[in-house]
Structure 1
């Protein structure tokens, strides 16, 4: 499936509308789940998904298969659109008391082959996250999953801003080779 996403993105970069339609049909359930998790409201998640796919269409030529998986690239576009929307609306992220229950950002109603792809990716991510120190792991998840800024993390964790930035930077440096 991943190769298919990369191929579809490549075709989209050549303005292939049929490829874009297929990409939307296959990737939108996962990306909508991510948007919904961040936005907490279906109507806002739908707006984010629409904005994300517009950017995916416009920037498909900037996707580089050597730098990562197509779904990861599209999820990053979606996440950034969601965070932009939240900041523009001055909304706060809803956090739960369940520790990082949202690592599986896709909904359960995905088709089986999509669910298998996602669960393999999530399992790999979980294994890589285990390599991190607890403080690094917490900062990275709160930053990338819940969308907290470095400043917010500094205040939330009662740690100096430089420490939080260093934890995240070093954690990402550890994750990069593991996830490649």
Structure 2
């Protein structure tokens, strides 16, 4: 499936509308789940999904398979678009509790073949996150998954801004080789 996403992105970069339609059909359920998890409102998630796919279409040529998987790239576009929407509306991403029970951001209604790819990636991410110090893990999840800024984390955790930034930077540096 992942190779298919990469191939479809390459065709989208060449303005192939049929490839874009197929990419949308195959990737939109997972990307919608991600947007819905962050936004908690179906109408906002639908708007963000549309915006994200416009960006994916326009920027498909910037995808580099050497830097990561095609779905991860599209999920990042969707996540960033969701967070931009939250910031523009001055809202916060939905937080459950510090246990991060929502780390499986995709809903259970995905097609089984899509879910298996995501489950493997999420399992690898979980294993890598377990290797981090608790403070690093918490900061990374609150920042990247829930959309908190470094300043907000500093206040929320009652830690100096430099400490929060260092925890995130070092945590990401530790995650990089684990996820490669």
For the criterion TM > 0.5, the same-fold answer is yes
The corresponding residue for 1:26 is 26
Q: Distance in 2 between matches of 1:121 and 1:93?
A: 22
Partner of 2:171: 171
* CA offset digits 1:83-126 (Å, max 9, x no partner): 11111111122211361111111111111111111110000000
Which aligned segments of 4 or more residues in structure 1 are displaced greater than 2 angstroms? none
Q: What do residues 148-167 of structure 1 show as CA deviations (whole Å, max 9, x unaligned)?
A: 00000000000000000000
Q: Which moved more, 1:12-21 or 1:84-93?
A: 84-93
> Who is 1:58 aligned against?
58
Per the alignment, residue 148 of structure 2 pairs with 148
Q: Residue by residue, what CA displacement relative to the aligned partner does 1:3-42 show, whole Å, maximum 9, x if unpaired?
A: 1101100110000000000000000001000000111100
1:73-84 paired onto structure 2 within 5 Å: 73-84=73-84
Gaps of 5+ in 1: none
Give a deviation string over 1:30-76, Cα, whole Å, max 9, x none.
10000001111000000000000000000000000000011110010
The alignment partner of 2:151 has SS state of: helix
Distance in 1 separating the partners of 2:150 and 2:158: 12
- Output the aligned Cα RMSD: 0.8
Number of aligned positions between the proteins: 180
What SS does structure 1 have at the residue aligned with 2:83? helix
Q: Which residue of 2 aligns with 1:100?
A: 100
TM-score by length of 1: 0.98
What is the SS of the residue equivalent to 2:44? helix
* Segment of structure 1 superposing worse, 93-102 or 160-169: 93-102
How far apart in 2 are the matches of 1:92 and 1:140? 16
TM-score, normalising length: structure 2: 0.98
Which whole-Å CA distance do the structure 2 matches of 1:13 and 1:137 have between them?
Answer: 36
Q: Supply the distance in 2 between the matched residues of 1:110 and 1:89 (Cα, whole angstroms).
A: 28
Distance 1:39 1:112 in 2: 24
SS at match of 1:77: helix
CA distance in 2, matches of 1:158, 1:98: 15
Aligned-partner Cα distance in 1 for 2:97–2:78: 25
